[in-house]
Structure 1
């Protein structure tokens, strides 16, 4: 599955499977990135906020030294919320850490602005401990800066992350360049079909993070996942990663363990019966108001997701 790709709206292609680096422990990221790329992975997803881009860069350098070609690797970066008024500076900092001249895709990590002059570069806080948010910020202004990046050669494509249907509908009328990607939390317990459908209508590719739900894989015990895993003789994690391919989405598999990195490559083709089982499971959760979102930082901002009014 490491060779499968999907088309983007700018003429590029994006791998169907990528290595995620969020929450990967310090000291392990370099080896994971290097190993994954040498094992055939073609996409590495990172972000300034993850505070491990130096290690990602070391892993990239090691893989390139071992014969992996830069042009064969799709590198994703994200501008963090304290840099949403200084987008190019945010990208420059990431490029320096990664040791690269360009990334293949650069995303708006979250559509909010935290105080660029606050008491921390990533998570500025007020004296009461709340996040230091600039409330009169307009996320469309950040997108205009993102569009300007395309003329610099520092990124080949631009996109968004954690955008709801509401926020996309606010952005699209003002966009000269349609986002190439929307990276969202996506799994059978959080199908976010309203976002997926809107993105498809507008040629925006979905990249799914947290495909197993969260740390510890809470979706491993979901009845349809177990049933499909037993049917195909695979692990529940394989089913959950494979779920995204027929949806036409790229999926990020996060691991720092060589055996798991190898295992995550071996996705399966789900048949119509499998897909119906998973979709019915998702539909029931939506109908009963029981979808589960595992990633929702305490920004105190209403991002427009139906499950987070």
Structure 2
């Protein structure tokens, strides 16, 4: 059947701002590749760029964004720039965001995300590790993600960011943030989400509570294993598009923001070319996890960062 193409849409956040539902992800992009990818994306029509302190490419992102603004008629307020605070910075978010803004050469970011739900020890580098290679964290009983979030929200009033949110979080933790009286609700949560890890409960909970969900690793991370899944391939053949187009269009059809990462110009251009999927195909893809469930991002912590605060599991 002929594919009906979709344009990038703006989703309304719970604080009144809007977020484009397709972004360029920049994880694992080297400085030169990152600069070229961001420039290609912005020239192609992307208006949402996602980076992080831990990616070590904020300088390249900022250089590309500022070069693009100087060379085009696009205004800063028409772009949506996201960066993230690393867990070792959680106890001092003001200095963390000021350093990020300096690297980005921006006056503010549109979204500032906590990169995990557990704090790391300070003063030992970006990802402090013990003698066995495990990331060194602070017990949630001493300093929790709620404590970190409480500090983060002060950055909005100071004009350093317009919105805040949190990554790698689950429903009980989101609910705790929503129920804590002195906290503003997160505008966005960003998690690994794809047909092998659809996180249906989280997506539906966030919709019901007016929190936008962003899906990273939408193709299943390195090597894009989803592109060879028989259901994805079959649906792609039905519409005459690529498997990547189907996977990304599925994410958008669910009402999530999708964050495809690429440093290849043609793929960057392809990743913003989405289609409308029939509801039956959205449902079909959403049930792939019953045959195959897989989380691709597994950080080496002694605490299970994806589950409860108190879940200190022995290393495996």
User: 2:88 matched to which residue of 1?
Assistant: 82
- Secondary structure of the residue aligned to 2:152 is helix
Give, in whole Å, the separation in 2 of the partners of 1:258 and 1:201.
37
The answer on 1:153 being equivalent to 2:159 is yes
The structural deviation recorded for 1:4 is 1.1
User: 2:3 matched to which residue of 1?
Assistant: none
Q: Structure 1: which 5+ residue stretches go unaligned?
A: none
Give, in whole Å, the separation in 1 of the partners of 2:246 and 2:92.
40
Aligned residue runs from structure 1 range 7-18, under 5 A: 7-18=12-23
The answer on 1:27 being equivalent to 2:29 is no
CA contact (8 A) 2:177 2:185 kept: no
User: 2:214 matched to which residue of 1?
Assistant: 207
The structural deviation recorded for 1:176 is 2.5
Pair 115,263 (structure 1): closer, same or farther in 2 beyond 3 Å: same
Give, in whole Å, the separation in 2 of the partners of 1:127 and 1:281.
39
Give, in whole Å, the separation in 1 of the partners of 2:132 and 2:254.
43
The structural deviation recorded for 1:13 is 0.9
The answer on 1:197 being equivalent to 2:204 is yes
The answer on 1:99 being equivalent to 2:105 is yes
The structural deviation recorded for 1:172 is 2.1
- Secondary structure of the residue aligned to 2:251 is coil
The structural deviation recorded for 1:2 is 5.4
User: 2:11 matched to which residue of 1?
Assistant: 6
- Secondary structure of the residue aligned to 1:141 is helix
Give, in whole Å, the separation in 2 of the partners of 1:250 and 1:128.
36
User: 2:295 matched to which residue of 1?
Assistant: 293
What is the Cα-based RMSD across aligned positions, in Å?
Answer: 1.7
Give, in whole Å, the separation in 2 of the partners of 1:128 and 1:265.
41
- Secondary structure of the residue aligned to 1:38 is helix
Give, in whole Å, the separation in 1 of the partners of 2:306 and 2:67.
41
Give, in whole Å, the separation in 1 of the partners of 2:153 and 2:127.
25
1:154-208, Cα deviation, whole Å (9 max, x unpaired)? 1011111111112223322215310000001111100111211221121110011
Give, in whole Å, the separation in 2 of the partners of 1:128 and 1:22.
25
The answer on 1:111 being equivalent to 2:113 is no
- Secondary structure of the residue aligned to 2:158 is coil
Aligned residue runs from structure 1 range 111-260, under 5 A: 111-118=117-124, 120=125, 122-135=126-139, 136-174=142-180, 176-260=183-267
1:258-293, Cα deviation, whole Å (9 max, x unpaired)? 1111111111100122112112323x24xxxx4100
The structural deviation recorded for 1:80 is 0.6
Q: TM-score, normalised by structure 2?
A: 0.91
The structural deviation recorded for 1:25 is 2.5
Q: TM-score, normalised by structure 1?
A: 0.93
User: 1:303 matched to which residue of 2?
Assistant: 305
Aligned residue runs from structure 1 range 53-68, under 5 A: 53-67=58-72, 68=74
